[in-house]
Amino acid sequence: MSFLEVFQYTRQDTFVHRLDPRSKLLLSISLAVCSLMFLNILPLLLLLAFLVPLIAAAKSLKRWVRSMRGLSVLLVFILVFNSLFSPVAHPISYSIALSIRLVALMTAFSLFFLTVHPDQLSQALIQMHVRFEFAFALSMAMRYVPTLGQEALAIMDAQRARGVELDKGNLVRRVRNTVPIIVPLIVVSIRRALSIAESMESRGFGAVEKRTYLESLR
C-alpha cells in the first residue's frame, strides 16, 4: 500500500504548502482533467514535466517515487493487457499512454493531498459554499485513507503468518486469497466509523450551525 503515501499530508514549510488550498484544489482538478483529455504520450509527458517539479518543490519527491514504485504492478498489468488485447491500431503506444495518464492523474491529486491539511480542506470547501457535513466527511476520509492502507498491510502480514499464500497461484486463486484481507478490513472500517459517529454525537456535532476555527483562511 505504499502508493497511498502520496495521499497523506506532510507538514513542510514550502511555497507550495503556503498556497491557498482553494487554488491548489482548482489546480489539481484542472491538471487531472487535462490528463484525461489527452491520450498521446507527448502531452502527458509534458504534464508530468510540469507536475514533478511542483512535487519536488513541496519536498515530497521521495514519497512520490516510493508511491510510483508501489503502483508499478498495476502499470505493468496495464501495459501487458492492453498491448495484447487492445483493438486499437498501435496497442503498445496506447498502453504506454494509459500508464502515463494514470501516473499523471495520481500526481495531480497527490500535489493537493500532500500539501493541504484536512482542516484546511474543510475550511476551503465551506468557504466555497459546500455544506459542512460534506466538507467534514471529505476531510475525515482524507485523514483515514493512509490509516486504511496501514491496516491492510497489517492484515496481510497476519494472514501470511497464518500460512495464507497471497502472492502464489493463478489469477483466480489470488483473487480468492484477497477475501481474508477484505473482510477484516471492512469490519475494522465499520467499527471505526461507528466509534467516530458516537464520538461526534457525544460532542454535539451539528448543534451549532455556524462554526469557528482556530486559524482561518484569508
Residue 213: which H helix or E strand, with range?
none
Residues 142, 152 contacting (CB under 8 angstroms): no
Find all residues with CB under 8 Å of 216, minimum gap 6, and list them. Answer: 123
Tell me what pLDDT residue 50 has: 93
Instruction: Provide φ and ψ at 48, rounded to 5°.
Output: -65, -35
Residues 5, 66 contacting (CB under 8 angstroms): yes
In tens, the pLDDT along 40-83 reads 889 999 999 999 999 999 998 888 888 888 788 788 888 888 77
Tell me what pLDDT residue 150 has: 80
Percentage helix, strand, coil, to 5, in the chain?
Answer: 75, 0, 25
Tell me what pLDDT residue 46 has: 94
Tell me what pLDDT residue 6 has: 77
Tell me what pLDDT residue 57 has: 92
Tell me what pLDDT residue 217 has: 65
Task: Give the alpha-carbon dihedral of 171, 176, 180, 183, to 10 degrees.
Answer: 110
In tens, the pLDDT along 174-188 reads 777 778 888 888 888
Burial grade of 198 (CB within 10 A; 0-12, 13-18, 19 or more):
exposed
Positions of the chain with pLDDT lower than 70, given as ranges: 1-3, 169-171, 206-209, 211-218
Rounded distance between C-alpha atoms, residue 184 and residue 155, angstroms: 8
